[in-house]
Amino acid sequence: MKARFAVSFWVLSGLLASGMPALAHHSFAAEYDSSKPVTHAGVVTRIDWMNPHVYIYIDEKSPDGKIVNWGFEGYPPNTLRRVGLSKSMLKIGDSISVTGWVAKDGTSRFAGREISWPDGRKFFVGPPAK
Amino acid sequence: MKELSFRFIAIVIAGAIGLYGNPAAAQTPAAKPIPRTADGKPDLSGIWQALGVSLTGEAAARPAGANPASAGPARGRGRGPREAPPYKADLLARVKALVADPVHSPSAQCMLLGVPAITMNPMPLQIVQTPKNTVILYEVMRAYRIIPTDGRDHPADLDPTYMGDSVGHWEGDTFVVDVTGFNDKTWLDGAGHFHSEGLHVVERYTLTPQDTIHYEATATDPQVLTKPWKVVDTQLRHPPRADRIMEYECAQNNIDLPHIVTPVASR
């Protein structure tokens, strides 16, 4: 009975694990919490348009008036090119709002999902949570 | 967003229909004659991808109204349930330990992914078919495989490698690739699915009238598996916008590792 449970548990885990997310470099769940969606808004301070993921950093003013620099990761550059988000669409100094999911280690990082610009444009910069 | 070509839309529709690895059930695109090389073999050449948003766009990943936190990853076509490899009972603890250590997964470490895992990665691959060699170039981890088709066998004294040694031949219209000489550093597919150096994989690539590649891979590894394990998948031809694979240097800015904190299995 125990052996059968163990096998079914690992079959299920295998099924879950086999569905590797499009952030294929590493497991989403090992780094981010899909039960904790967040939105951060601020001014772009840095753009690392590199593999294995782009990283974009924004200065967000928190309710107490302090500036916190948040970094979010997205798809690799090649993937972004293919879905139509080019590096030229994002510049240092842009004001953007970004949805995503919290980092599990408590640092000021999150998995980015959708960027919104003040003019109403939106773009998916990273995958849905897994 | 940019204009969507008819072909792109057709691929998204094909994905949304959710095919379970049965090319005969494909609804779109329409059947076409299979392209062939001068020696009469189906021509597998081209840019292909099994799944991923860079193939299908976000529409397949997130149907209108779906909760963004629950939408699954984009798929080029529906992928049915896949059984985990059938590990020997006394090895399940090792699978569990590897799942609990995602920092050392081959992909997090930017290692070559092995076979068949690399075929199911959500980045494109390019097949270059010539009379004596079929070469597969993978965008992910800048991997490549050279598959001689001149009838030779594997060398007798292989040094174990991540991608193994491949030789190919045709059985009718199916390209069959025999792969041995693996090291034990890769995963079959999915977290923690380790194998031994005794792994032997046979892949079968069949070009379908729907202009997809029906892919099957059977992995045999008597040291760790109780019986052979098979995966089935479908490669879609990349839309014309992506006419070549691009550089993916995973080690360029691999800064996730210090932030990986939670074993997947404990969620």
* C-beta of residue B18 within 8 angstroms of C-beta of residue B80: no
Where in the sequence is the domain holding A86, given as residue range(s)? 22-124
For residue B84, being part of any structural domain is answered with: yes
CATH code of A30's domain:
2.40.50.140
Q: Determine, for residues B70 and A52 on separate chains, whether the beta-carbon distance falls below 8 Å.
A: no
For residue A65, being part of any structural domain is answered with: yes
Q: Tens digits of per-residue pLDDT, B181-202?
A: 999 999 998 789 999 999 999 9
Size of interface A-B (CB pairs under 8 A): 175
Our count of domains for chain B comes to 1
Q: Tens digits of per-residue pLDDT, A55-69?
A: 999 999 988 999 999
Contact list in B for residue A18 (CB cut-off 8 A) is 82, 84, 189-190
For residue A11, being part of any structural domain is answered with: no
Which residues 63-82 of A are in CB contact (within 8 Å) with B?
Answer: 73, 75-76, 78-79, 81-82
Whether chain B has a CB inside 8 Å of the CB on A127: the answer is: yes
CATH code of B134's domain:
2.40.128.20
Q: What share of chain B is helix, strand, coil (3-state, %, to 5)?
A: 20, 25, 55
Residue B90 clears pLDDT 50, i.e. is over it: yes
Where in the sequence is the domain holding B209, given as residue range(s)? 35-49+80-244
Q: Tens digits of per-residue pLDDT, B22-42?
A: 444 444 556 778 999 999 999
Whether chain A has a CB inside 8 Å of the CB on B243: the answer is: no
For residue B236, being part of any structural domain is answered with: yes
Residue B70 clears pLDDT 60, i.e. is over it: no
For residue B216, being part of any structural domain is answered with: yes
For residue A8, being part of any structural domain is answered with: no
For residue B107, being part of any structural domain is answered with: yes
In this predicted structure, what is the pLDDT of residue B7? Answer: 58
Q: Least CA distance to A77: which residue of chain B?
A: B248
For residue B12, being part of any structural domain is answered with: no
Mean pLDDT over residues B108-125, rounded?
A: 94
Q: What is the torsional sign of CA B20, B22, B26, B29?
A: positive
Q: Tens digits of per-residue pLDDT, A29-43?
A: 889 999 999 999 999
- Alpha carbons within 13 angstroms on the beta-carbon side of residue A92 total 5
Q: Determine, for residues A48 and B69 on separate chains, whether the beta-carbon distance falls below 8 Å.
A: no
Using CB atoms, which residue from B73, B84, B249 is nearest to A14? B84
Is this prediction's pTM over 0.95? no
Q: Tens digits of per-residue pLDDT, A86-128?
A: 899 999 999 999 999 999 999 999 999 999 999 999 999 999 9
* C-beta of residue B64 within 8 angstroms of C-beta of residue B6: no
Our count of domains for chain A comes to 1
In the block, tokens 């800048």 appear at B142
Which residues 147-186 of B are in CB contact (within 8 Å) with A?
Answer: none
Residue % of chain B over a pLDDT of 70: 77
ipTM confidence score:
0.80
